[in-house]
Amino acid sequence: MAGDSTFDVVSDFDEQELVNALDQTRREVQTRYDLKDTKTDIAQDKESLTITTASETSLRGVRDILESKMVKRGLSLKILKEETMEEAAGGRVRQKLTLQRGLTTELAKEISKLIRDNFPKVKPSIQGNAVRVAGKNRDDLQAVITYLREHDFPAPLQFENYRG
């Protein structure tokens, strides 16, 4: 396979940008008049965010601020998987947002099938939580990238390790 060009289709996000967006959100929540006294807490662990605040209305406000800060920092909102809102102690509400990282097996299979059906000159292969696409012609690989960008997948896609 010498002479083949390849690239990987992955789904990931910049963790530092997420931390920055969370810091900006916390600062704005503390200074905004309607959210100042809600004792809002945004906790982050390895795989999720948890927002705890006074009411459902303030939760929507905090989510709106967080989402706007994420978009400004180039993070896709598709990395957040919303879980149900639940009651917390003291009449407060809590919502957990799961962080999605990596392609699921089903999504990797769907992407691979789309590429195989529409581009017979390239070969997709699933490698863990990424799809490697190989082909002899760089133009074919560029066409695959363009084609995948036009589709709306449930996870944000990035194209890495482009080797010619």
For residue range 96-108, list pLDDT tens digits in order.
999 999 899 999 9
Instruction: Centre a 10 Å sphere on the Cβ of residue 134 and count the other Cβ atoms it contains.
Output: 15
- Tally the domains of the chain: 2
- pTM given for the model: 0.84
| Domain's final residue, options 67, 99, 131 | 99
Same domain, 46 and 115: no
Question: What are 74-126's pLDDT values in tens digits?
Answer: 999 999 999 988 998 888 999 999 999 989 999 999 999 999 999 999 999 99
Q: What is the pLDDT of residues 11-48, one digit of tens each?
A: 999 999 999 999 999 999 999 888 888 889 999 999 99
**26 and 80 in a common domain:** yes
Beta-strand ranges (E) seen in 5-157 are 5-10, 41-44, 48-53, 80-88, 92-99, 122-127, 130-135
Domain extent, residue 61, equals 15-99
Question: DSSP string spanning 113-163?
Answer: HHHHHH-TTEEEEEETTEEEEEES-HHHHHHHHHHHHHS--SS--EEEEEE
Which residues have C-beta within 8 Å of that of residue 4, sequence separation ≥ 6?
Answer: 134, 135, 136
